[in-house]
Structure 1
């Protein structure tokens, strides 16, 4: 048995109990049995689930065996633990990777992709303040407010008797797009 076989087996069985699982494997490894069109795949992904009602799904000391459907045709698949390098749970979105079992070209591809996708730091060029465009915001009254102001304000008698020292309550400003 592969030295990480018991751990892979435990993770796979736990994930299968929750729902659909995707296993990632190197189909070129010895002992892997997949359809002939997929035998040269460095990163083959297979979905497993108890909901597929597989009559022969076996997760054992050697690895995984199951009959799966490929383009409508059934095929008996066998995956030893040494060929399996990752397990993904569709339900919990958990992902377990075993980098020691990953194909070398996938590791290299990941490193190249990572280097290409991370740009090198560039000094940020900020325009001097005098060259930056300036936005000027000003308060614009709404039509309803203008109409209300043109009418005579009605003050209730209780307010007329109150102290005159208090400043009026500030009005809320509103921004309006003017083209």
Structure 2
């Protein structure tokens, strides 16, 4: 089962509101640009970006069922439901869209949380999700500026923004995001 880019776009875009599809197109554009800038594969980056939010608007119970029935990171169920769509999206990309590239699947899986030892493609898609042109939140311009000179600096700023927001709202912070952020800080310190 292989989808042309056009068929993939048609299928994925039909599963979300127009506003979210516009966001997705912004992530595709930003991922392609970051990949070209930092030596990644623009085609793989854009593929992961097209699929990154495929399950975002699925009913929460459907997402829960997929996680439980397929033994996908059950610890996610103890954290914010906003994280679930990334794991479910990677599963759907593989099972329903026939994506076999593990790097693309991981970029989808970790686009919300990050992870320790992020691959180049993970960094590109995660950062593209933060900085796509339609994003408008406090600090986004700083993240965009940092992304122009370093994927790692941009991601640390993005994760700091997410963690700060969660702390302000007195929400639980997913440990993998903190670990991903700390790993990137270590990398930056080692390269100073």
Normalised by the length of structure 2, the TM-score is 0.24
Higher percent of residues as helix = 2
- Larger Rg, first or second structure (1 or 2): 1
Higher percent of residues as strand = 1
